[in-house]
Every structure is written in C-alpha cells, then in structure tokens.
Amino acid sequence: MSPLLDPFIRGLGAGGMAAFTLAVLRSRTSAQAKWVTVGLGVSVVCWMISESASMWTALGHVWLLQPLGFLASGAFWLFVQIVFEDRPVRPWVLLPAVVLLSLGLSTTVLPWRESNLAGAAFNSFSGLLAIHAAFVVARGWRGDLIEGRRRARAVLLGLVVLFVMIEVILSLAAKVDPARGWLRFAVGGPYGAAILAVLIFATVAVFLEARATLFDPPRRAEARLDTRAEVADRQLLGKLESFMADGGWKTEGLTIGAVAQALDTPEHRLRRLINQKLGHRNFADFVNGHRIEAARARLADPAEAGTTVAAIAFDLGYGSLGPFNRAFRAATGATPTEWRRQALAEASPILEEAI
C-alpha cells in the first residue's frame, strides 16, 4: 500500500466522524447525547491517528492524542447506552472510561512485561464493553418502536461491535504470534484503517438518514379531527386502550409481539401506532407508563401502607425489584420508598412516621 494512502484513508474516516458529530450537534437531541457524540467522534479520530505509525511520524507530537484514543471503546459503549436505551447519563457510566484510560496509560509508562499485561487487560476490557454493547443493541431490538433505529440495531451497529471484537482478538493474537502480521488488519494497519473507514461512512449514512427519529426528543402526534384520522388506526388505538385498561400491562414479561397477537394485528403496525400516535420511543416505556401510574396510586394509599414495595412491584408485572426501582426513579426522580414516604407524610404525618 502506498505510504500516502494510509493517511488519506484515515483522513476520510475522520471526515466522516466529523460530519456525523456536526449533524448530531445540529439536532434537537439532549445536551448529554450531544456531548457523548462529541466524545465518540474525538476519541475515534484520535484512536485512528495514534494507531498509525505513518501518522505518528508525520505529526510528531501525536502522543498527545493517544490518551483520548484509549477512550474509543468506552465512548462507543456510552453512545449505545444513550442512543439505544434512552437513558440519562449517570456518574457510574463514566467508570469504564476511567478504567480504560488508566489501563491505556499504564501501557505507556510501565516496564515491558507489566506493559504487556496492562495491554492485555485493556484489550480484554474493551472486548467486554463491546460484548455488552452488542447485548444492549440486541436486547432492545424487539421493543424498539423507531424503524430507523431498528435498522441501525440490526445491521450497522452489529458490524461495528463485531469490528471492535475482531480488533481485540487481532491485538491479542499479535502478542502471541507477532510474525504472522496480524496487525495489518488492526486499526494501526492499512487494511484495518480501510475497513474502519468503510464502517464509519456506512454508519454515518444510516444515522444521518434517520437523524430526526434517532436524536430528536420524543413527541406525541398532534391531535387531529376524527374526520381526518384513519379509521383503522382509530379502531386499533381503541382496542389497545381497552387491552391496557383491562390490566394487560400487568402481564409479567409482556412483549409487543404478545400484545399484537392479542389484538390480532401485525406487529409492525402496532409499533408504528404506539410511536407515532402515543409518542413512545420503545415498548418498555409505554408499558412502564401504566405500571408507574398504578404504583404511585398504591404507594400513596394509606390502606396500602403495610404492603411492601416488592409486593407492589410483583403485582404490577415486574419480575424483580431492580427494574421497578429504575423505572420508578426515571419517571419520578425518587425511589419508590422515598416517594411513598413523602406522599404519606402529606396525607398523614403520624402514618408517615410509622412507615
């Protein structure tokens, strides 16, 4: 490969990341999502540059970019959490980035033997983050109500996760048997850089196509006159509301496929209805809306003061207490116990003191 081709390929990849980052910054997404996307773009570009021997020589002080490059897999993991889980950034989610940075810096300052061990730990931890990101992408695919995001889950992000895992395997293989030239297909090699550039442009193309649905905040469709509404959608919406009013949301492990089967309607049509008519981005949020509303009523009821939070969670269809606590806190900003204490205090200070 020509010595000039490697920097050219990396420049294309960096340009693609820059275009994607600018597009997200111009969207109506949250400030957290924008900062996470900026972090992903900067870390991936720094990773591509610092892994290239030719770029290292040409830029001279490229070592200044290396610490940011260590954060690439952590930034990708965090990006998946924000974009595909619709979760706000909590302080604990920054811990993987701290671990990666510590391990990465250790490889540059420790003696050769210890440096190799730190490098193996760095690559292994990056692989674990990639596997978990793949799990997150796959776990939410069925209940995702946004078609553009479902396509990204099914195709491009799967390829990106696979690429990250391959990079980890290649890095480990090169340490075991460096004579085979494994690193030519890693990010530091010419073929690896070309593969990464192609993946970046493919990812950018899909994400930019679906930018509005991926990054804009959820919104409920504006109410329209009955004469302009589609009769079929009105009928399906009525059937869905009846199903939920009858307590369908209490079913443990309820899936959108089960609801579609109960309503005798195609799953894709029900997914579109909940997203476009009711303004939900994923099925879990739709179900949790009904469950949390019922939970608040029961937690604020003095007659239910002796019922444990766990018992209420199980009655509402949650399989364990953890998901209920997370959903309740996301909806109210407080844990169920804190919310109950405040609600009962307003109703009866004596009862609150007993609780």
Q: Does the model's pTM come out above 0.85?
A: no
pLDDT in tens, 57-84: 777 666 778 899 999 989 989 988 888 8
Query: Is the residue at 304 inside a domain?
Result: yes
Kindly indicate the confidence band of residue 240, based on its pLDDT and cuts at 50, 70 and 90. very high
What's the confidence (pLDDT) of residue 130? Answer: 84
* Residues 154, 145: Cα–Cα separation, whole Å: 13
Q: Is pLDDT above 60 for 198?
A: yes
Q: Is pLDDT above 90 for 207?
A: no
Residues 123 and 270 in one domain: no
Q: Is pLDDT above 90 for 92?
A: no
Reading the block at residue 30, the tokens are 């949250």
Structural domain count of the chain? 3
* Residues 318, 23: Cα–Cα separation, whole Å: 38
* Residues 307, 355: Cα–Cα separation, whole Å: 11
Residues 259 and 352 in one domain: no
Domain encompassing residue 275: 232-281
Which one is predicted more confidently, 344 or 1?
Answer: 344
* Residues 212, 203: Cα–Cα separation, whole Å: 15
Residues 159 and 137 in one domain: yes
Q: Is pLDDT above 90 for 287?
A: yes
Q: Where are the beta strands (DSSP E) in 201-355?
A: none
Q: Is pLDDT above 60 for 317?
A: yes
What's the confidence (pLDDT) of residue 225? Answer: 44
Residues 158 and 258 in one domain: no
Q: How many CA atoms are closer than 13 Å to the CA of 3, on its beta-carbon side?
A: 6
Q: Which residues pair with 144 in a beta bridge?
A: 282
* Residues 259, 229: Cα–Cα separation, whole Å: 23
Listed range (35-39, 220-224, 305-309, 338-342) with the worst mean pLDDT: 220-224
Residues 244 and 185 in one domain: no
Are 186 and 119 in contact by the 8 Å Cβ rule? The answer is no
Residues 268 and 324 in one domain: no
* Residues 312, 321: Cα–Cα separation, whole Å: 9
Residues 98 and 50 in one domain: yes
Residues 261 and 302 in one domain: no
What's the confidence (pLDDT) of residue 145? Answer: 87
Query: Is the residue at 226 inside a domain?
Result: no
Q: Is pLDDT above 90 for 54?
A: no
Listed range (47-56, 134-143, 289-298) with the worst mean pLDDT: 47-56
Q: Is pLDDT above 80 for 186?
A: no
Listed range (22-31, 32-41, 235-244) with the worst mean pLDDT: 22-31
Provide the 10 A C-beta neighbour count for residue 321: 16
* Residues 158, 98: Cα–Cα separation, whole Å: 25
Taking the alpha carbons of 26, 31, 33, 38 in that order, is the dihedral positive or negative? positive
- The per-residue pLDDT of the chain, averaged, comes to 82
Top-ranked range on mean pLDDT: pick from 54-68, 114-128, 137-151 = 114-128
Listed range (4-13, 147-156, 193-202) with the worst mean pLDDT: 147-156
Average pLDDT rounded to a whole number, residues 254-283? 90
Provide the 10 A C-beta neighbour count for residue 13: 26
Residues 332 and 189 in one domain: no
Are 18 and 69 in contact by the 8 Å Cβ rule? The answer is no
Percentage of residues in the chain having pLDDT higher than 70: 87
Query: Is the residue at 221 inside a domain?
Result: no
What's the confidence (pLDDT) of residue 352? Answer: 47
Kindly indicate the confidence band of residue 191, based on its pLDDT and cuts at 50, 70 and 90. confident
* Residues 83, 217: Cα–Cα separation, whole Å: 11
